[in-house]
Amino acid sequence: MRTLVISDIHANLVALEAVLADAGHWERVWFLGDLVGYGPNPNECVERLRELEPLALSGNHDWAVLGKLDTDEFNDDARRMVRWTRNELTEDNLAYLEGLPPRREAAPFTLAHASPRHPVWEYILDLQTARENFDYFDTACCLVGHTHIPTLFALDEAATEPDLYLVGHGDIVDLKFGRSIVNPGSVGQPRDGDPRAAYALLDSESMVWEFHRVAYDIAETQARMRRHKLPTRLIERLEFGM
C-alpha cells in the first residue's frame, strides 16, 4: 500500500499543503508526531491532518501543549510557543492530540515519535544511540521523526553495527536488506540545511522507501508568524532550514 509518511508538521500549514500537493497518489497517511509547536496554524494543521484519517502519533511538543511533559528542557522560544499554542487550540483539537500515542505498531513497522526506547524524548542522531535502539523494537523497520533530519540507520543481516546515511531528495531505499530506523525529516521545520519541506513515500508491499523534498512559500509562513508576534528566531530559521 502506498503510504505517505510525514512528521514534525509543527503547525506549518503552508508546508503541509505543499507536501500534500506534491505527494501525488497515496492510499494512507502515517504521521510521526509533533503536529503543533513553533508554527502559526495549530488548529488548521490538526484539522487538515484529521481529514486525512492518518495513523498518527503525538510528539514531545504535542505533549508539552497538553501539559503531559515538563517544558524545563525546552528553550525559551519553544516554551513560549507551547503557551501560545495551548491558548490557540480548540477543546476539540486538544482532545484529538490527547488521544494520540507516541508509539504504535503497524507490522512490519514500528512507529515512534522520537525513538523506540524513549518515544517522546530521545534523539537518534548517532550510531551508538541507533545501535542501542535496535533492541527496543521487534519489527524489521522502525519509523521515527523528532530530529527533523532525514536519515537512514541500516543494520544488514551480517552486520552488528548499523550504518548511518544522510539522505536527500529523490533517494530511494529498498528496506528489505535487513533492519532499519528511518526518519522522513520534518514537514514544517527542516533542520538539515535544506529549507524545503521533507516527506517520504513508502510502498509497504515492496518495502521501497522514497525520500522527498518540496519547496513551499516560506515567506507566507513567516508573515503569518509575524502577524502573531511569534519569536523572531523561529521565524528566521525557516529560510535556512536550521
- Which residues here bind Zn ion, judged by CB under 5 A? 8, 34
Backbone angles phi, psi at 61, to 5 degrees: -70, -35
Name the residue whose CB lies closest to Zn ion.
Answer: 34
Measured distance between the N- and C-terminal CA atoms of the chain, rounded to whole angstroms: 33
Q: Which is nearer to Zn ion, 77 or 140 (CB)?
A: 77
Least distance CB 178 / Zn ion (angstroms): 28
Q: Which three cell numbers stand for residue 175?
A: 528496506
Backbone angles phi, psi at 65, to 5 degrees: -65, -35
Q: Are 214 and 199 in contact (CB under 8 A)?
A: yes
Q: Which is nearer to Zn ion, 8 or 17 (CB)?
A: 8
Least distance CB 60 / Zn ion (angstroms): 7
Least distance CB 185 / Zn ion (angstroms): 11
Q: Which is nearer to Zn ion, 146 or 179 (CB)?
A: 146
Least distance CB 59 / Zn ion (angstroms): 6
Q: Which is nearer to Zn ion, 179 or 213 (CB)?
A: 213
**H-type helices in the chain, by residue range?**
13-22, 42-51, 60-65, 76-88, 91-98, 127-133, 218-227, 232-240
Q: Which is nearer to Zn ion, 32 or 152 (CB)?
A: 32
Least distance CB 148 / Zn ion (angstroms): 6
Burial class of 180 by CB neighbour count within 10 A (0 to 12, 13 to 18, 19+): buried
Whole-angstrom distance, CA of residue 222 vs CA of residue 236:
8
